[in-house]
A and B are shown apart, each in its own frame.
Chain A
């Protein structure tokens, strides 16, 4: 049993993303993703490939927690799980829907900023119609495994916009309505 646990930790350490590796790993994953986009027409397949690349780096559960803010703790265990699941699906659905908008833009890792010992912002730039725009991947340190907890698209934090949206739905319509709407909410 102890061996199994040891093996688990060992494997965990193998897949853990170190701070110094973030730019390279991200650029690699991005390049691979863009390559899928160029070669594969079925956007659902492309999306699945991309998710495979990023799933280990993105902390969907934390994102779900953060998007509910203080309301998350008010939910019971079952509701929390239900919500986390629905949130991840919604986020992925939004992403998949947006893939059709891709038109050969190039996404390049520009630089990273260590905000404090637990936060690292990776700034990538996209050239769209000759204009440079930033997409920032926000990482946090999870026991030396750096994971994405938010993405800033052209100056707008996805999690922040979810927080206000979910907060309002919860206060005016309740949890079930939020779950229902989550199935329809996609980032425009």
Chain B
């Protein structure tokens, strides 16, 4: 059936070629519509309870999303007239940016202790700032440096760097759409809303970009050789990630063409086997991208790898086909080209199909991760490589027939490396050394893997030389952290007094009703807890700045001649404070309607000792201990929690995923090889190299992140191809030849294809090292490493196992004879 189909397409090469080309071009047309999504939320678990809490709590408090612009004047005198005037200009220009809601800096920070006017009531009516006429500049400087709201927040401890907090407008439409999606009754409705969300995000992305460009232009305008400006914040990180992904995609594409072209020319010494594989790779990629665009998939930080992966796997399929084609062309120089092509395609059909299916299983395992972009990568890769196999067959079947036949050449190694590898395995002594090394590798792996951990540090995602890293470091170190984290303390409603006391009942009812008024929300219990939690948080390692209701209480105490504000004063202030003052100093930390207090922290993301999961777990435990008698609910929320959940879920599912992949591939191996021993050794030669890579990560303290965590599935998927091709060939050879000859022949034939594909993959992934995005670099380096180890596994360990099995078999057979 399959052979008839192949004969048919070989008989009509022009129609096959043009038909396939038309389909590819048609699909490629949509590829231009594929969009890039690097928003923080693109990486989160859609059904994470913490994400729902995060969104819910974001609604309770205004001004959740912000950027920080750090200003560092060369002379270090922030409060000089020149610097203040420059800062003032920057402040007011920032207010004009399209998505900016409010700007908060030392320019408009309320000052209550620096005015010549000392009447508090008067001050509240018209709160002065550093620009006000009756402000004493020396007092102002001291107040800003010591104010609990300002120090470590908008001004560094040494007073040399100031932070301008740029509050961005809340995207209410997005929030509503998310809410709608969560409430949707069926998947169809959900999908329709998802489309609307995507459309809205696309528009928002443009606006966001314009906003950031506007701010970056202001930075350019005011940044001189002397004065430095650094921008940081979550949306800034997302925007820079998009820029990096886009530039990475472009670099991958261009560099891959050159590197692969050189490799292909080196292997085959003919331009047609340079252009043909590259053509098939790129047309398959663009057709696959078209399908992803039609499926409304977006490229995220993680799924951007599909470009390199699809190219590499397609190339691997094509190289195997071409190598075999050259081999049989050389063996049968007079055979008709149609026959040679047919034989190649038929001979490689099964191993290629099995190889692709195992790779697909590897990628499909990512679907179990529960993380949208990783699931998408799994689906994208499965579709991509499926298409790659189909297009490789269709194009090779047609183009090889259409091209004028010629004498083909395949690189032969002067010092035959492959024969050398085969001979090592054939030598019993050296074989034991190979087993010895493998055992040591297993032991090291067991130790190294136990040291593995997952970590997600935004600051460390970028190269030291990148502007964003420099900015994030300045803000992290001088303005107390970049990564926002909130603690929410929710008070439970007081139990109604049920003790009956007739004479006081009517009074009790009256005061219980009065208590419900917002005026009395601020009371001793809340301020005591606010103080307790605030001071606790301040003393936590890795916590930079902490702001809360307690900051206002400290401010109040300062104004109140060092005495704490009592319940009357608090109620009085709540009733009589001007609205704008409340908005700045109370509403970000208190939500009366929901009966909760919010403590906003910024975490020092660049601290190398920060173990996020441990930190969050301990923080949660200690907060529960601290407040165990206070009848409150505690919640820790923020992007940091969500990313941690994502990584932890990924890490915990990693084991399940790997077991699934290995079992699935093992079952497939049993089906393919129809032999349990072959299946076990094929799995072992893949699992050992993979474990070594993870062990290395554990030993070198390279944390698993959202990209490197996908290496296992990808490497197993690609790696088993080598084992399949080798064993398949070996089984063919052993039918007619001695074990030594079968091993040497397998090495020389399939070994060269394995060698070419590994070299190509290594070259392909080496492009990733040019990325500005550190996880991509690690991903590239580690994949290269695992690929080389997998090749070694196939060229040393696999033949060793095969020889041991066959030697034993031969011994048993001899004994029987």
Contacts and interface: CB of A to CB of B under 8 A. Distances in A.
Interface string B566-608: 1111111001100000000000000000000000000000000
B507 A149 contact: yes
Nearest to B497: A70
A165 B575 contact: no
B501 A169 contact: no
B576 A154 contact: yes
A16 to B, nearest CB: 19
B501 to A, nearest CB: 6
Most buried by A among B501, B506, B566, B575: B566
Interface in B297-316: none
B213 interface: no
Query: Which one of B121, B511, B519, B576 has the highest number of Cβ atoms from chain A below 10 Å of its Cβ?
Result: B511
B499 A160 contact: no
Contacts of A157: 511, 514, 520
Contact of B568 (A62, A149, A168, A188): A188
A164 B528 contact: no
B134 interface: no
A66 B122 CA distance: 34
A172 B298 CA distance: 54
B566 A188 contact: yes
Given A73-B499, A155-B575, A156-B571, A164 B514 contact: no
A93 interface: no
B575 A154 contact: yes
Contact of A168 (B499, B501, B525, B575): B525
A101 to B, nearest CB: 11
Contacts of B497: 69-70
Contacts of A185: 566
Interface string B491-517: 000000101010010111011001100
A7 interface: no
A172 B506 CA distance: 27
B732 interface: no
B506 A156 contact: no
B515 A172 contact: no
B189 interface: no
A118 B503 CA distance: 12
Nearest to A172: B528
Chain B, interface size category, equals: 20 to 34
B633 interface: no
Interface in A92-141: 118-119, 128-129, 140
A159 interface: yes
Contacts of A175: none
A156 B572 contact: yes
A142 B563 CA distance: 38
Contacts of A168: 523-525, 528
B514 A69 contact: no
B496 to A, nearest CB: 10
A66 B504 CA distance: 8
A108 to B, nearest CB: 20
Nearest to A156: B571
Among B122, B497, B568, B569: residue with most chain A CB under 10 A: B568
B809 to A, nearest CB: 80
Nearest to B631: A171
Judged by DSSP, the binding face of A is helix
B565 interface: yes
B568 A169 contact: no
B340 to A, nearest CB: 89
Nearest to A186: B566
A69 B508 contact: yes
A188 B560 CA distance: 9
Contact of A161 (B504, B508, B525, B567): B567
A154 to B, nearest CB: 6
| Most central of A65, A165, A167, A188 by chain B CB within 10 Å | A188
B515 A156 contact: no
Interface string B506-550: 111011001100011001110010000000000000000000000
A162 interface: yes
A187 B566 CA distance: 7
A158 interface: yes
30 contacts: A65-B504, A69-B511, A70-B501, A70-B508, A73-B499, A118-B506, A129-B122, A140-B507, A149-B507, A154-B575, A155-B572, A157-B514, A160-B511, A160-B514, A160-B520, A161-B520, A161-B568, A161-B571, A162-B567, A163-B511, A164-B523, A165-B566, A165-B567, A167-B524, A187-B566, A187-B568, A188-B560, A188-B563, A188-B565, A188-B568
Interface of B: 121-122, 497, 499, 501, 504, 506-508, 510-511, 514-515, 519-520, 523-525, 528, 560, 563, 565-572, 575-576, 629
Given A70-B497, A156-B568, 11 more contacts: A70-B499, A73-B499, A128-B121, A149-B507, A156-B571, A157-B514, A161-B567, A164-B524, A172-B528, A188-B565, A188-B568
Please give me the 4 A-B residue pairs with the lowest Cβ-Cβ distance, nearest first.
Answer: A164-B523, A168-B524, A161-B567, A161-B568
